């Protein structure tokens, strides 16, 4: 054990007449509170961003490849599923899944209600994880081999608005050219994502229904939907995918399709930065105050150490070691409390939200160890950096005056 660490461990005895003891406790709890607030703020905001992003991607995937079209947004020029680009796209690093889709605008008519919808047709290769996890009633539709399925899933919002329930027949009308086409579907599942912008319109069913409505053959679709391994690398994967496409194809990422929504999610990062800055200031002020009181209270001890030959750098190291111990205790306490609160919220959903306002019914929490590690390391570094200035006062203490004073 070094001399500085030995001395640091014997500072601040449990003396009721000591001023620094209570202040050290206050500093410890202040740091713990700061770490707690920072970790919870980042975990909640990151969880909120991830939840919204997951829901938007669930409706539209990460990347959509279609043909160039100047017509109606819901009347796309068809693209073949047998094009050579399909194999090249699947071989692109970062692309984990590809499925075919086709959408058709229409309306659902009941005895007393009419509601506009977007019928999204998917095939057996569709990754149904998103809708399966958000089903509140029923099941996903089946894919019969010999015919197009008449089963659909729709949102709880549409079901409530049109007074529909499982097993009900849904009369739906689509326009093809100048004439309407009617289809009767059966509700086999009801989902709810709390993302009203999508829940109010999307009905999901068999791709073959859209192909029949458009008079397409079994190889014609609106486009390809791609899922990537890592959302953080979306732009890089998109750049690689676009290099695989023919001259008549175009591509759009989910961010490009929903610029306002993702700009809002990015804006939340500024709130995280502001919260961290304020809490870091609280932590540094608390530990600097505690350190200054320790230095003033140990002035005579500093004089004795200097008289015995200890250098200014050695004494500064003693106080930095002691301060690091205080900061470490505060960080560990804050992390422990933050992990407990985050786990309880993640496990039991204690704090609820208004789904109409927040697009989710409970506060989301991102239980990511890197959040705890990054904030803890950052707090320790910033606090120790802030202590370099007050410890410089040690070099101004003269042993002769302090010993003589005693």
In order along the chain (406 residues), what is the average pLDDT of each group of 10 residues? Answer: 70 55 85 95 93 92 84 68 93 94 92 91 92 94 92 95 93 84 94 91 95 93 95 94 90 93 89 92 90 79 75 80 90 96 93 86 92 95 88 71 58
pTM for this model (two decimals) = 0.83
pLDDT at 60: 86
Distance of CA 129 to the CA centre of its chain: 18
Between strands 151-155 and 202-206, the pairing is antiparallel
Is the Cβ–Cβ distance between 49 and 268 less than 8 Å? yes
* DSSP state at residue 82: T
pLDDT at 11: 63
Can you list the alpha helix ranges (DSSP code H) found in 223-258? 234-242, 254-257
- The count of C-alpha atoms lying within 13 angstroms of the C-alpha of 375, restricted to the half-sphere facing its C-beta, is 33
Listed by start position, the domains of the chain span: 3-54+262-405, 69-247
pLDDT at 377: 95
Exposed / middle / buried, residue 200 (Cβ in 10 Å: 0-12, 13-18, 19+): middle
Distance of CA 125 to the CA centre of its chain: 27
Q: Which residue matches tokens 């202590």?
A: 387
pLDDT at 17: 52
pLDDT at 333: 96
């Amino acid at each position: 054990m070094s001399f500085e660490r030995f001395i640091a461990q014997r500072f601040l005895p449990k003396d009721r007449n000591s001023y620094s003891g209570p202040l050290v406790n206050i500093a410890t709890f202040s740091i713990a509170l700061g770490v707690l607030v920072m970790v919870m703020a980042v975990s909640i905001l990151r969880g909120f961003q991830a939840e919204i992003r997951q829901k938007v991607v669930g409706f539209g995937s990460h990347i959509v490849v279609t043909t160039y079209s100047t017509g109606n947004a819901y009347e796309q020029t068809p693209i073949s599923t047998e094009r050579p680009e399909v194999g090249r796209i699947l071989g692109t690093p970062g692309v984990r899944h590809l499925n075919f889709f086709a959408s058709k605008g229409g309306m659902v008519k009941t005895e007393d209600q009419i509601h506009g919808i977007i019928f999204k047709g998917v095939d057996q290769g569709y990754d149904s994880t998103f809708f399966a996890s958000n089903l509140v009633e029923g099941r996903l539709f089946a894919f019969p081999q010999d015919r197009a399925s008449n089963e659909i899933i729709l949102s709880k919002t549409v079901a409530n608005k049109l007074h529909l329930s499982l097993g009900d027949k849904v009369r739906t009308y689509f326009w093809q050219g100048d004439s309407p086409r009617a289809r009767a579907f059966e509700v086999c599942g009801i989902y709810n994502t709390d993302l009203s912008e999508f829940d109010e319109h999307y009905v999901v069913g068999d791709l073959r229904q859209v192909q029949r409505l458009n008079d397409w053959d079994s190889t014609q679709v609106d486009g390809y939907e791609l899922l990537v391994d890592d959302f953080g690398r979306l732009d890089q994967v998109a750049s690689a995918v676009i290099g695989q496409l023919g001259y008549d194809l175009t591509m759009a990422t989910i961010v490009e399709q929903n610029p306002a929504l993702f700009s809002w999610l990015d804006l939340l990062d500024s709130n995280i930065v502001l919260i961290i800055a304020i809490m870091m200031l609280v932590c540094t002020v608390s530990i600097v105050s505690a350190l200054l009181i320790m230095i003033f209270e140990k002035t005579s001890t500093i004089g004795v150490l200097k008289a015995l030959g200890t250098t200014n750098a050695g004494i500064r190291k003693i106080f930095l070691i002691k301060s690091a111990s205080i900061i470490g205790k505060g960080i560990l306490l804050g992390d422990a409390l933050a992990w407990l609160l985050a786990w309880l919220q993640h496990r039991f959903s204690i704090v609820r939200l208004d789904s109409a306002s927040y697009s989710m019914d409970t506060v989301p929490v991102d239980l990511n160890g890197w959040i705890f590690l990054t904030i803890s390391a950052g707090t320790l570094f910033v606090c120790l950096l802030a202590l370099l200035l007050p410890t410089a006062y040690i070099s101004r203490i003269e042993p002769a005056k302090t010993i003589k004073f005693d």
